[in-house]
Structure 1
Amino acid sequence: MPDPTPETSAGRSLLLVLHDVAPHTWPDYQPFVEAVDALGNIPITWLVVPDFHKRDSLAFAPGLRSMLDRRLQRGDELVLHGYYHADDSPPPRSVRDYFMRRIYTHEGEFYSLDQGVALERLHAGITLFQRFDWPLAGFVAPAWLMSEGTRQALRSLPLKYTSDPQYLYQLPQFTPISAPGLVCSARSAWRRGLSRLACELQAARLSQAPVIRLGLHPVDMRHGFTRRYWMCTLQQLLAQGRTPMTKSAWLSTRQAG
């Protein structure tokens, strides 16, 4: 991988990113989003799943689509986040693949897809965004896992970026731009405690970083401990003078710099 693009003097920013947005997860997010809106004009990047686990289709969720339409009017961004957000590929055949697909996550949809299947799903997601008249610049693979076939498919599409936990990648060249993030694991009490400690240490280390991403998941919203952590962290970063932006808006500042 080439060296990350050097940092510019575009100012310090923060990117608030909501993962796994689908009809069944919006009720988890809604109180938090309302609290964020009460803080002022804070753009949000929404990672939208077209048909979560093949049983939660946006096509049959006019209420959620109307809400997302309104968010776009506020200046938010919608990003394609997989298609099914479920790993439906043939069973893993190696120890490494078993770990990645059965222990690390069961939702690495694009981890093992060949170029043809990856391209088919990406086209389906792009078509859905076009159907709803939603602008689309970015794609984020579930669990940030992408096969080489997926990477090749992305190189052939008119998308502008993808990402992993540490970088945003400008397409089609996959040019890396450092954009470190904070993310919690909230599935158990001990994970929540350790994640908060790790995030606090990471946030302190990144105090002078040009940008910090906050990567929230629906499960975070189901526990007061992590929900309060994210709200406090957001308020602290705003108090430090960081400018809230969407991913696309921040990338535009980098290109301008």
Structure 2
Amino acid sequence: MGERNVMLVLHDVAPETWNDYQPFIEAVDALGNVPMTLLVVPDFHHRNPIDQHPDFIRLMDQRLARGDELSLHGHFHCDDAPAPTNPRDWFMRRVYTYEGEFYTLNEAQARERIEKGMALFKRFGWPLHGFVAPAWLMSEGTRRALSQTDLRYTSDPQHFYLLPDHRQIEAPGLVWSARSPWRRGMSWLVSEQAARRHREAPLLRLGLHPVDMRHEFSRDYWLGLLKRLMADGRAPINKIDWLNRHYLNERLAA
């Protein structure tokens, strides 16, 4: 692959988080043609069903018209399963995150939520190609459920997985933990090191969250990094266009 790309991915996109993202998105739009992938949550924390927000639906229509991609990001984006019963699950569900919605689900439970999200996208006329689990945590049941859909990919922080067989593709990503000043400082250091380490990688993904947008330090970092990467020759692209260009069409032709 001769071209080097940068991928801007906005997590947790929902009516209540849009105001966090809006100034950043406006700044990105001002740079020119920068397609993004927006990870849309159908009913954020059981309090934000997007079908009750016509203004948000129109905004998503507008983003699609600009060349952005909408991807399914869980259903509720919160872990509402029974409390963890062992140390590993307690760490994953209470220390690492409280939002690993698909970490404990069996196949039937996962399929139900995924299919509800797919039906919602279909009702709004939104093309849907991918699913990303909240906090990137997926049970084996979730993986099996995804393999039975017509979705084309899922992902974790460092990989894409082509469905239905979950073929793994290297796709390095940067992500911040921005909840406190010391976390933002460490995230800056880790991101700068990773950006240098992956300078020649064909693709670099930037995974942003609403909390990043609430702090000037992290918000300015992401915008500045995007500008640097573009100035260094990386072309912005969304997930499905990159996968179509380099992998999915190749597989279909095989």
Q: Could you tell me the TM-score, scaled by structure 2's length?
A: 0.97
Q: Distance in 2 between matches of 1:88 and 1:28?
A: 25
Paired AA for residue 13 in structure 1: N
1:10 Cα deviation from its structure 2 partner:
4.5
CA distance in 2, matches of 1:93, 1:155: 28
Distance 1:184 1:105 in 2: 14
Aligned AA (1:152): R
Matched residue, 1:166: 158
Following TM superposition, by how much is the alpha carbon of 1:157 offset from its aligned partner in structure 2, in angstroms? 0.4
Q: Provide the residue aligned with 2:133 in structure 1.
A: 141
- State the shift of 1:87 in Å: 0.3
* 2:79 pairs with 1:87: yes
SS of structure 2 residue aligned to 1:98: helix
- Determine the structure 2 residue equivalent to 1:24: 16
**In 2, Cα distance between equivalents of 1:59 and 1:71:** 17
Q: Deviations over 1:161-181 (max 9, x none)?
A: 000000010000000111110
From 189, 202, 211, the counterpart of 1:219: 211
Give the alignment of 1:52-201 within 5 angstroms: 52-201=44-193
Provide the rounded CA distance (Å) in 2 between the counterparts of 1:216 and 1:247: 14
Partner of 2:234: 242
Q: What residue ranges of structure 1 are gaps of 5+ in the alignment?
A: 1-8
Task: Give the 4+ runs in structure 1 shifted more than 6 A.
Answer: none
Q: Which runs of 5+ in 2 are unaligned?
A: none
CA distance in 2, matches of 1:137, 1:70: 18
1:38 maps to 30
Q: Letter of the 1:134 partner, please give it.
A: W
Task: Give distance in 2, aligned partners of 1:156 and 1:57.
Answer: 25
Give the structure-1-normalised TM-score.
Answer: 0.96
Q: Is the 8 A contact 1:10 1:253 kept in 2?
A: no
Asked if 2 retains the 8 angstrom alpha-carbon contact of 1:29 and 1:221, the reply is yes
CA distance in 2, matches of 1:186, 1:102: 17
CA drift at 1:91? 1.1
Asked whether the equivalents of residues 220 and 226 of structure 1 are also in contact (C-alpha less than 8 Å), the reply is yes
Partners of 2:233 and 2:194 in 1: CA distance: 18
User: In the aligned structure 2, how far is the partner of 1:106 from the partner of 1:187?
Assistant: 14
Match of 1:229 in 2: 221
AA in 2 matched with 1:139: F
- Give the partner amino acid of 1:71: R
Task: Tell me how far apart the structure 1 counterparts of residues 64 and 116 of structure 2 sit (CA, whole Å).
Answer: 21
AA of the residue aligned to 2:34: I
Deviation at 1:254, TM superposition (A): 1.0
Q: CA deviation at 1:90?
A: 1.1
Question: How far 1:221 sits from its partner (Å)?
Answer: 0.3
SS of the counterpart of 1:39? coil
Q: Deviations over 1:32-69 (max 9, x none)?
A: 00000000000010000000000011011111110110
Identity %: 59
